[in-house]
């Protein structure tokens, strides 16, 4: 009988342990998900980021066979939510429904607690241009009238945003620069609170993606003057683009995408990416997005990462030129 030396036995035991370990990891990844998933939202309830998260949670949950819990963590230009997801275990059970304004602008404001490299892109879910909305009793009914009113009344008009350095804020800066007007910026902690004060008449106008404003526009409580994208919205066919009103430099489109903590296993990211792709092919999901003034707009992990990098570079110039700082 041939006996193993102690050294040979040790090597065999180590190889067996490694084999079992690798098998365990593969099994764990194959079983994903085996428990509820948390989807963190960097904004309060009522805005488009929240809508995107809730639409995705409702549609993805049954596909994944697990409950997806939406957690609203607004404030800090998206830093509170991003920091929470950054610190989470990179196992696919904590995801960030990210708003483009936070992802591509906040890192340039000087007080960000995270970097884009702290996350791995999963897939884009919704895209939407911003719209220019004014309170119902403001005596203007077009962008041309808004600009004329602002020129006749310097710094009398104010506009709400979801925070200092937010996409709404820099869109307001774009408008001031393009139209040669002066309007006062009033930052809020999210689109929801800003919308409430717009409805209450405490602020005169705002910019934002259409979903949270649509019911109030349809009820006549708010007036929409323009779309900041390249094309008119199907849900607002009579509303011109800013380019059509003579302000092509006012051009801002938002996207809402899923990100996971860096080092999340590639197999988990690939599964989520594939399931989001299928979710966005669903006709009912597409129609619901259109009805709200958004578009179901799939981008895979690679394409999303490339788009985010381009947007960060573009908005860095705007932030620097306007000397925008964090709250």
Lowest mean pLDDT: which of 23-32, 45-54, 179-188, 210-219? Answer: 23-32
Give the angle 37-283-133 at the CA atoms, nearest 5°.
80
Strand ranges, E, within 136-228: 158-161, 184-187, 205-209, 222-227
Each residue's pLDDT tens digit, 178-207: 999 999 999 987 788 899 999 999 999 999
pLDDT higher than threshold 70 for residue 149: yes
**CATH topology assigned to domain 37-128+253-322:** D-Maltodextrin-Binding Protein; domain 2 (3.40.190)
CB 288 within 8 A of CB 214: no
Higher pLDDT, 161 or 191: 161
DSSP 209-230: ESTTTHHHHHTTSEEEEEE-SS
The predicted pLDDT at position 323 comes to 78
- Its pTM stands at 0.77
Mean pLDDT in residue range 27-52: 85
Give the angle 204-129-131 at the CA atoms, nearest 5°.
20
Q: What is the mean pLDDT of the chain?
A: 88
3-state secondary structure 5-45: CHHHHHHHHHHHHHHHHHHHHHHHHHCCCCCCEEEEECCCC
Bridge partner list, 226: 132
Each residue's pLDDT tens digit, 214-244: 999 999 999 999 999 888 998 899 999 999 9
Residue 107: pLDDT band with limits 50, 70, 90: confident
The predicted pLDDT at position 113 comes to 81
**129-227 matches 37-128+253-322 in CATH topology:** yes
**CATH topology assigned to domain 129-227:** D-Maltodextrin-Binding Protein; domain 2 (3.40.190)
Mean pLDDT in residue range 77-91: 94
- CB-side neighbour CA atoms (13 Å) of 38: 15
Domain extents in the chain? 37-128+253-322, 129-227
């Amino acid at each position: 009988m041939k006996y193993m030396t102690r050294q040979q036995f040790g090597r065999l035991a180590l190889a067996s342990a490694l084999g079992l370990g690798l098998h365990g990891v593969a099994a764990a990844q194959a079983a994903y998900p085996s428990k509820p998933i948390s989807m963190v939202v960097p904004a309060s309830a009522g805005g488009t980021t929240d809508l995107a998260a809730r639409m995705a949670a409702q549609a993805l949950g049954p596909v994944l066979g697990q409950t997806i819990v939406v957690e609203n963590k607004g404030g800090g230009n998206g830093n509170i939510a991003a920091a929470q997801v950054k610190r989470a275990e990179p196992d696919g059970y904590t995801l960030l429904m990210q708003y483009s304004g936070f992802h591509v602008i906040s890192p340039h404001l000087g007080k960000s607690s995270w970097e884009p490299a702290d996350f791995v892109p999963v897939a884009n879910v919704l895209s939407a241009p911003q719209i220019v909305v004014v309170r119902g009793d403001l005596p203007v009914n077009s962008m041309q009238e808004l600009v004329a009113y602002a020129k006749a009344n310097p710094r009398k008009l104010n506009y709400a945003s979801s925070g200092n350095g937010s996409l709404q804020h820099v869109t307001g800066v774009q408008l001031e620069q393009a139209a040669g007007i002066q309007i006062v910026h009033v930052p809020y902690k999210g689109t929801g609170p800003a919308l409430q004060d717009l409805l209450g008449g405490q602020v005169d106008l705002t910019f934002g993606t259409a979903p949270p404003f649509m019911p109030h526009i349809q009820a006549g409580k708010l007036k929409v003057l323009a779309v900041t994208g390249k094309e008119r919205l199907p849900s607002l066919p009579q509303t011109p683009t800013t380019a059509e009103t003579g302000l092509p430099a006012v051009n801002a489109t938002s996207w809402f995408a899923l990100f996971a903590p860096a080092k999340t296993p590639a197999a988990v990211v690939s599964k989520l990416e594939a399931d989001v792709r299928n979710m966005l092919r669903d006709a009912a999901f597409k129609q619901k997005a259109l009805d709200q003034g958004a578009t179901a707009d799939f981008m895979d992990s690679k394409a999303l990462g490339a788009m985010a990098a381009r947007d960060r570079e573009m908005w860095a110039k705007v932030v620097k030129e306007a000397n925008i700082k964090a709250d």
